[in-house]
Amino acid sequence: MAIVQEGALLSDIAEKMQLKNYTPEIDLTECRVRVPDINRPALQLNGFYDHFDKNRIQLIGMVEYAYLHSNKTPEERIEIYQKLFAYKLPCMIICRGLEPEDALLKVARECNMPILGTKRATSEFEAELIYTLNAELAPTTTIHGVLVDVYGEGLLITGESGIGKSEAALELVRRGHRLVADDVVEIRRINDHTLMGSSPAITKHLIELRGIGIIDVKSLYGVECVKDNQQIDLVIKLEDWHRDTEYDRLGLEDEYMDILGHDVVCHSLPIRPGRNLAIICETAAVNHRQKKMGYNAAAELYRRVQDNIAGGGDK
């Protein structure tokens, strides 16, 4: 079941974006951001508040800063700040290392409005801030499984407990791939085309192996064998092999698994003694990557068969 975030803590946003806090007396852990978008208040500085979304972070760049200090008297600026901050905004961020004037900080403290700053260029910072907010506020769910980065493809391995997911992940790590999460995978829908998976902090870089216990992949195999997050591209569903079940042998038509309203290609992999799960999972990831690049081996086989039939079976 998807969990819609109630809001991202402003303290977390400030830490990730390395923002300077000009109002340290305001507790950022008590402030939340609920909209994954920002506003540059050019029109609001002129008194136009129709369709104004007060839930957005307000971003002040060189243009807004220059307008305020070149075209408005100190008294007019105070009036603008009071009217703007009366909307109980999440915060205001000033870019390019521009220093907020004392009057702005005074009104901000009176209205309990956090004022933050960054030295980065406005457009560059704006793009990264929107991406960060989308990630923090994205719909979230958790899935029992293992997530591994295999040649750049995010491979989510699912199946019943004890079927061999963690063992397959460990073998993939030994073959040079990177572990993202074991047992519990936290998934965020960043946008309509992107699902991002990560590990809960408590199990990060750890794998549980029945009969052995918990192992630390980062400590045993090195930092190059782990990864903090990964886009999910393919799902491998491990299941016990049954003689009477028919399994796809060609792969002409893809099956899908719905995750947060996004269809992800899913392969059901029957488990039998002697099958090397790691190699099969690795091959599935490479084959999926090849399909995305425009080549489908099953479609090529079908084309050859059709050509052979059309040629009278001489080829």
* pLDDT, block means (10 residues), the chain with 315 residues: 68 95 95 93 93 95 94 94 95 96 96 96 95 90 96 95 90 95 94 91 92 92 94 94 73 86 91 82 93 89 87 63
Distance CA 158, CA 79 (A): 58
Using CA atoms, how far residue 20 sits from 16, 35, 154, 262, 271, in Å, is 11, 21, 35, 37, 54
Strand partners, 286: none
Strand partners, 158: 145, 237
Identified catalytic residue from 165, 188, 205, 288: 165
Identified catalytic residue from 20, 72, 120, 183: 183
Count of helices and strands (H, E) across the chain? 9, 18
pLDDT of residue 125: 96
The number of residues in the chain equals 315
User: Which amino acid belongs to residue 71?
Assistant: N
User: Which amino acid belongs to residue 124?
Assistant: E
7, 32 contact by CB (below 8 A): yes
Q: Answer yes or no: 102 catalytic.
A: no
Distance CA 218, CA 234 (A): 24
Q: Answer yes or no: 175 catalytic.
A: no
Domains annotated for the chain, with CATH where assigned, are 8-136 (3.40.1390.20), 140-301 (3.40.50.300)
Q: Answer yes or no: 144 catalytic.
A: yes
Q: Which residues contact 11 (CB under 8 A, 6 or more apart)?
A: 28, 29, 31
Identified catalytic residue from 34, 69, 119, 144: 144
Q: Answer yes or no: 183 catalytic.
A: yes
CB atoms within 10 A of CB 22: 18
182, 169 contact by CB (below 8 A): yes
Identified catalytic residue from 193, 242, 243, 249: 249
